[in-house]
Structure 1
Amino acid sequence: MKFEMLENVLTVKDYQKLRTSVGWSELPEQQIETALRNSLFTIAVKYQEQIVAMGRIVGDGCYICYVQDLVVLREYQGKGIGKCIIERLVSYVKEQGIPDTNITLGLFAATGKEGFYQKQGFHIRPSDNRGAGMEIIIPVRLW
């Protein structure tokens, strides 16, 4: 399978399509535009003139980064695309690093996808020296 990895050109339309293809909720276009603009790095994977996968990095770019929104359309899963995206995202983070320092690259794995990320070198939390990952969803309302 010959596919093309495009950097920093992910569109709102493709982002929304990939998101909803895996059962994630639709987001307002303005929210997606802002999220993509504020991302450190994005990947869009093109196959036969169609975007079939995406991934992005968010964070501060030198100490803490996160893999965000890694999605491969179901019919293209198991073909090595996700692995290629992760490899490029990790490579990008390494390129941004300050010499002789470490960068933490975190992520939230979808249920059942933990094994994929473990194969790419990620470790499950909690572990002996790291606590559980946590999150809070903050609703934004106009007053």
Structure 2
Amino acid sequence: MSIGEPQLAYAAPTPAEYCGLRQAAGLSPMNESAAATGLPASWCAVSLRVGDELVAMGRMVGDGALFLQVVDIAVRPDWQRRGLGRRVMAALMDEARHRAPRGVIVTLLADGEACRLYEQFGFRLSAPRSQGMLLRL
């Protein structure tokens, strides 16, 4: 029986799915209650599903005119290395190019070797001119 190609939708996952996929993909854990508040505020969200099962996701957050940030790029481990992260990023970047005005600044934090994926979409390391910084409250 063939599993089939994951189907892309411009939609956020449910808070439970979001928290589960982040954990499965090795990203930092998030609170489901916070996810219920944050996910609907996404500027753009992308989900890849096989049937009803979430296998990959990504979001952009921000004001949509001056700044956007790519967040939550995650692929379930058993679906990694099949181009799904690239599909998610391509969909997010297509939407940014279509909806955001020229000159919008798009940023992201790249974990580990993920910078190789993001470089395919034109992202470059900003150091030494600027340094990424993070504070978790």
Identity of aligned residues (%): 25
Corresponding residue of 1:2: 5
Q: CA deviation at 1:125?
A: 2.1
> Any residues of structure 2 matched to 1:10-49 within 5 Å, and which?
10-49=13-52
Offset from partner CA, 1:29-59 (integer Å, 9 cap, x none): 2100111011111111002431100000100
What is the aligned length? 134
Distance (whole Å) between structure 2 residues aligned to residue 115 and residue 6 of structure 1? 24
Q: CA deviation at 1:28?
A: 2.5
Contact 1:83-1:120 within 8 A present in 2 as well: no
> Any residues of structure 2 matched to 1:123-142 within 5 Å, and which?
123-127=124-128, 130-138=129-137
Q: CA deviation at 1:82?
A: 0.8
Deviating above 6 A after TM superposition, structure 1's stretches of 4 or more consecutive aligned residues are none
Give the TM-score, by structure 1 length. 0.85
In the alignment, structure 2 segments of 5+ residues that lack a partner are none
Contact 2:12-2:47 within 8 A present in 1 as well: yes
Distance (whole Å) between structure 1 residues aligned to residue 70 and residue 46 of structure 2? 11
Corresponding residue of 1:106: 107
Q: CA deviation at 1:61?
A: 0.5
Contact 2:19-2:31 within 8 A present in 1 as well: no
Give the TM-score, by structure 2 length. 0.88
When residues 26 and 135 of structure 1 are mapped into structure 2, their CA distance, relative to the original with a 3 A threshold, is closer
Q: CA deviation at 1:25?
A: 4.0
Matched residue SS, 1:113: helix
Distance (whole Å) between structure 2 residues aligned to residue 135 and residue 9 of structure 1? 24
Radius of gyration: which is bigger? 1
